[in-house]
Amino acid sequence: MSDKTFYVTTPIYYVNAEPHLGTAYTTIAADAIARYRRMTGHDVMFLTGLDEHGQKIAQAAEDNGMSPQEWVDAIAPKFKAAWDMLGVSYDDFIRTTEPRHKKGVQAFWTELYDRGFLYQGNYEGWYCVPDETYWTEEQLEDGKCPQCSRDVQFIKEDNWFFKLSEFQQPLLDFYESHPDFVQPETRRNEVLSFVKGGLRDLSISRTNFTWGVPLPFAEDHVTYVWIDALLNYITALGYGGEDHERFDRYWPADYNFVGKDIIRFHCVIWPAMLLAAGIAPPKSVFAHGFLLTKGEKMSKSKGNAQTPASLVERFGVDAYRYYFMRDVQFGQDGSISMESMVQRYNGDLANDWGNLVSRLLNMTEKYFDGLTPAAPTAEPTDADATLLAIAGVLPEKYEAAMVRLDYVSALEAAWDLIKECNRYIETQAPWTLAKEGDDARLAAVIYNTLEAVRISALFTAPVMPNTSADVWTRLGLGDITAVTDIAAVAEWGQLPAGLRVSKGEPLYPRIYEEA
């Protein structure tokens, strides 16, 4: 096992409804970096899962005439099926109703209790069930939830509290000494000004319903669902259980990926909880933006959410993944539309990538009986040198983009090579070389383009794993998912001679219909 570890997580999604484009977006982004890190030789742990407790879920179950457990058991497979359909290569899938999680939550409470960070008090204030968030009277806007504008409930309960207010300075010190903790920069500023504004103690238990993890020292209280949920990132690794080998190995996480809607939980409450328990916070919380359709946040509650399945049916899995990673800058809001999806598909995928592979394999079939020619021995021409140079800088450019989670630039770097391949074929015109009987140059041109396509497939693999595996198979190469040193495998000249290539169906048949 590699000693370089990489641990990335998605939020655990509420099981009040089925997965949609927004939740799929975070999950695909996490999948792409997880896949890439496996290709750079990291021992990767990629966690996703479900947030199954709390009032909102209990309510959804009741609305559907089921017990909460029946309800979550009915919805959970839909998430797994959606992620399987989207090629999400998670290493673990946690559900907060699992015994391993409950045990970890209780161990955490015992730790905080022993350390003196919990006390009993009365809570009086407002609560937004859809957001599972407490609000004070002053925070409400026109008497509604300031976040989602929906109705709030007044609650008055005996609760247990976490001394969050004691963590203002420790958090500010932590942000100072860990400048990469909150990403991107704009989010960091938002978090800093929030914490500087002062922190109140946090109610961490509820008594007016039972669908949650009981506090070990007060069994009539169930854990506030957000605390329950945040702990998944460590309970999945065995925190609080007998076997914490995975916890020792992977914690602290490299990234908690979240949407910008939930940064206060992840960048304020979460690190404070961990500091209180004597556990290191994650190295980084990366907050991405919202997918907007016609200028509005797409969400389950607004009813403007589409299912990933409907788009996958139309465009295919890899095109789906490509579109969201290529068209929306990770960290910023991005508008998505059917028009731009069709455009990306036809332009980048059908024309640039799919067409290149088809033409090239056709020519290999036609001119070389479907066998890869040998690497050229003649001096490279200027055109060859340009192609080689672009292939040569790709690993570094790609890595530089991926350490910033800049998927757009990473894909652009891969496309620099794909586009150059197309230019190269046009300018070198293998069909003319064939006509003129210049066999040596023809072999050189075909070899070089095949080699560049082999390399392009490596760097498109994290986002488009199926197509890349397919391209490698068509080239007669082995299993691309077995690559653990992408930079070494991408070194020029490794395509063997005499491999049998196969043409196959077009990778991305053009879409003609109107958006």
User: Which is nearer to ligand ME8, 122 or 332 (by Cβ)?
Assistant: 332
Tell me whether residue 293 or residue 484 sits nearer to ligand ME8 (CB atom): 293
Of residues 24 through 43, those in contact with ligand ME8 by CB under 6 A are 25-26
Chain center to CA of 258 = 9
Distance CA 515, CA 358 (A): 25
Dist CA 321 CA 501 (whole Å): 27
Phi, psi at residue 161, to the nearest 5°?
-120, 150
265 or 367, CB closer to ligand ME8? 265
Q: Does 11 bind ligand ME8 (CB under 6 A)?
A: yes
By the 8 A CB rule, do 501 and 365 touch?
yes
Q: Does 261 bind ligand ME8 (CB under 6 A)?
A: yes
Q: Point out which span in 18-26, 162-170, 382-390, 466-474 binds ligand ME8 (CB under 6 A).
A: 18-26
CA–CA dist 327, 28 (Å, integer): 14
Residue 340 CB, shortest distance to ligand ME8, in Å, is: 16
Q: Is 462 a binder of ligand ME8 (CB under 6 A)?
A: no
Binding window for ligand ME8 (CB under 6 A); candidates: 9-17, 59-67, 413-421, 438-446: 9-17
- Both structure tokens of 162: 């976490």
Which is nearer to ligand ME8, 30 or 461 (by Cβ)? Answer: 30
The reply on whether position 229 binds ligand ME8 by CB under 6 A is yes
Which two structure tokens, joined as six digits, stand for 411? Answer: 């894909």
Q: Which bin fits 514, alpha (ψ -120 to 50), beta or left (φ > 0)? A: beta
Tell me how far, at minimum, the Cβ of 412 lies from ligand ME8, in Å. 22
299 touching ligand ME8, by CB under 6 A: yes
Q: How many residues make contact with ligand ME8 (CB under 6 A)?
A: 21
According to the binding rule CB under 6 A, does residue 13 interact with ligand ME8? yes
Q: Enumerate residues 6+ apart whose C-beta is below 8 A from 244.
A: 237, 238
Which of 118, 298, 402, 457 touches ligand ME8 (CB under 6 A)?
A: 298
51 binds ligand ME8 (CB under 6 A): yes
Alpha-carbon span 460 to 464, nearest angstrom = 6
Taking the complex as a whole, the smallest distance from the CB of residue 52 to ligand ME8 amounts, in Å, to 9
User: Is 281 one of the binding residues for ligand ME8 (CB under 6 A)?
Assistant: no
Question: Would you say 302 and 296 are in contact if contact means Cβ atoms under 8 Å apart?
Answer: yes
Q: Which is nearer to ligand ME8, 215 or 262 (CB)?
A: 262
Two tokens, residue 371:
């066998």
CB atoms within 10 A of CB 414: 26
Contact between 262 and ligand ME8 per CB under 6 A: yes
Which window, 106-114, 151-159, 256-264, 462-470, contacts ligand ME8 (CB under 6 A)?
256-264
Rounded to the nearest whole angstrom, what is the least distance from the CB of residue 243 to ligand ME8 in the complex? 23
Q: Token pair of 498, please?
A: 């005499």
258 binds ligand ME8 (CB under 6 A): yes
Binder of ligand ME8 out of 34, 75, 273, 291 (CB under 6 A):
291
User: Least CB distance from residue 46 to ligand ME8, whole Å?
Assistant: 15
Tell me the closest approach of the beta carbon of residue 44 to ligand ME8, in angstroms: 20
Least Å from the CB of residue 225 to ligand ME8: 8
- Region for residue 162 given its phi and psi (left: phi exceeds 0; alpha: psi -120 to 50; beta: otherwise): beta
Q: How far lies 161's CA from each of 116, 133, 423, in Å?
A: 11, 15, 65
User: Is residue 23 involved in binding ligand ME8 (CB under 6 A)?
Assistant: yes
Query: What is the SS3 string spanning 470-481?
Result: HHHHHCCCCCHH
Query: Which of 308/373 has CB closer to ligand ME8?
Result: 308
Exposure string of 185-194, with b = 16+ CB inside 10 Å and e = fewer, is eebbebbbee
* CB 315, min distance to ligand ME8, A: 19
Specify the stretch interacting with ligand ME8 by CB under 6 A; choose among 255-263, 316-324, 381-389, 498-506. Answer: 255-263
**By C-alpha distance, which of 398, 487, 499, 395 is closest to 446?**
499
Sequence-distant (≥ 6) Cβ neighbours of residue 434 within 8 angstroms: 366, 367, 442
Q: Which is nearer to ligand ME8, 12 or 112 (by Cβ)?
A: 12
Nearer to ligand ME8, 87 or 282 (CB): 282
- Find the binder of ligand ME8 among 37, 95, 102, 297 (CB under 6 A): 297
For the four alpha carbons of 470, 475, 481 and 485, in that order, the dihedral sign comes to negative
Distances, alpha carbon 82 to alpha carbons 20, 103, 470, in Å: 9, 28, 22
Shortest Å distance, C-beta 62 to ligand ME8: 19
Distance CA 13, CA 17 (A): 9
Selected binder of ligand ME8 within 290, 320, 353, 407 (CB under 6 A): 290
Residues near ligand ME8 (CB under 6 A) are 11-14, 22-23, 25-26, 51, 229-230, 232, 258-259, 261-262, 290-291, 297-299
